[in-house]
Structure 1
């Protein structure tokens, strides 16, 4: 059960990062470094989610 809750939490954070990336990209003065940082965070979360799902 705790693993499922953790996966849901990470999924929510992953979705939030995705939204932030989209919003950053809409801006005419896009901060490419900020977008790259958000994408790295998103990838790290995805990898953690996949690892947790494999353990189930």
Structure 2
């Protein structure tokens, strides 16, 4: 897989997590621990994307 393809894949996963977080926040019984975990995973994806983008140029 090329770096660009990996960046796109990670970006898609990042957007999906963002949507999941948005849905969880409007849920009547918000699980703050779950939201925190999702945000942590989203941040790690963003860090990976940034690192890969730095390698490409």
Shorter-normalised TM range: over 0.9
Whole-Å Cα distance in 2 between the matches of residues 22 and 38 of structure 1?
10
**C-alpha deviation, 1:7, in angstroms:** 0.2
RMSD: 1.0
User: How many residues are matched?
Assistant: 56
Using structure 1 for the length normalisation, give the TM-score. Answer: 0.97
Alignment gaps of 5+ in structure 1: none
Runs of 4+ in 1 over 4 A off after TM superposition: none
**C-alpha deviation, 1:55, in angstroms:** 0.5
Using structure 2 for the length normalisation, give the TM-score. Answer: 0.95
